[in-house]
Amino acid sequence: MARKAMLIDESKCTACRGCQVACKQWNDLEGWSYSKTINHGGYENPPSLSPQTWTRIKFTEHEDAGTFRWLFLKEGCMHCGDPACVAVCPTKALKQKPDGRVTLEPALCNGCGYCSQFCPFGVPQLETYGLFSGDAKISKCTFCQDRTDNGLLPACVKTCPAKALFWGDRDEMIANGKKRVDMLQKRGFSNASLYGETLVGGLGRLYVLIEKPEAYGLPVDPQYPVTTSIWQNVIRPLGKVALGASIIGLAAAWVIIRRNIKMEDVE
């Protein structure tokens, strides 16, 4: 199945935040209690992704040669081609679908939160109900799995009035993104680029950026955490071998000693 992707053209985004509203509306997320407006001297709102805010427009004040402009970035799950969150999830609540979407089944999640700590972008948000009990649930953008499963557009793409969001086959999205970058460069945006084509197995969320990624606060070279591979591919198999060998070894030792000694001699 062809990989799907979302193309986000940040050169067209007007930061109306219709996507944020559509996301909350479709996914039935609360507006207030987890995403309180905090005035920290900017226009962005809410202040960060949260268990009830799966996408939001990040505002960056960018100054270049004395000229000021806003940079807008639609944050959310990157749907990596190599999703570390899926590798570390002990419940299979997180899954990578054949079309590349990283989906979430909340009923299976036990709240361990490994995904939130192994994600190279820090995207999954853990909603903690009790710190002592550990009761928690994870949440993140699923590309509106219930909509996209049925051939509909993700809610944010559907609603975007600036036509800055696109959804479709990943190859097509990459081609369109590159075309747009070419055009932007010809128009004088010399730093324009397409972000995410090859990062972490190829992202499912591609950005057309008008400035360098670091200007948006995006990681230039995000990595699938090496600790994920050590844990999943070395420690876990090693542990099983060690425990199995111990049990077999002790059983053999027991058989040998029962044959070698006479119980009557034991004082």
Partner 1 sequence: MNTQAQNTAGHMVQIRWIPKYTFIERFLHWMHTVSFLPLLLTGLVLYLPSLQALAQGEAGIWMRLVHRLAAVLFIAEPVLYGIVQPLRLWLNIKEFSFDRDDLGWIKNAFGYYVLGRHADMPPQGRYNTGEKMNGVVMIASWGAFVVTGLIMWFGKGIVPAALFRWMVILHDVTMIAAVCMFLVHLYLAVAHPLMWAALVSMRFGVTSASYAAEHHAKWYYGPKRAKELYEAKKKMASEHT
- Label residue 201 exposed, middle or buried (CB < 10 Å: 0-12, 13-18, 19+): middle
CB of 240 to partner 1, least distance (A): 8
77 in Cβ contact with 104 (< 8 Å): no
Q: Establish if 221 lies at the interface with partner 1 (CB under 8 A).
A: no
Identify which range of 73-81, 115-123, 138-146, 182-190 contacts partner 1 by CB under 8 A.
Answer: 115-123
Rounded to a whole number of angstroms, the distance between the first and last alpha carbons of the chain is 71
Q: Which of 52, 103, 116, 193 binds partner 1 (CB under 8 A)?
A: 116
Interface mask toward partner 1 for 247-266; x: CB under 8 A:
x--x--xx-xxx-xx-xx-x
Please identify, using beta-carbon distances, which residue of 175 and 235 lies nearer to partner 1: 235
Q: Establish if 78 lies at the interface with partner 1 (CB under 8 A).
A: no
Please identify, using beta-carbon distances, which residue of 214 and 264 lies nearer to partner 1: 264
Please identify, using beta-carbon distances, which residue of 88 and 157 lies nearer to partner 1: 88
Q: Establish if 246 lies at the interface with partner 1 (CB under 8 A).
A: yes
Contacts to partner 1 by CB under 8 A: 90-93, 107-114, 116-119, 122, 126, 131-135, 225, 227-228, 230-231, 235-236, 238-240, 242-243, 246-247, 250, 253-254, 256-258, 260-261, 263-264, 266-267
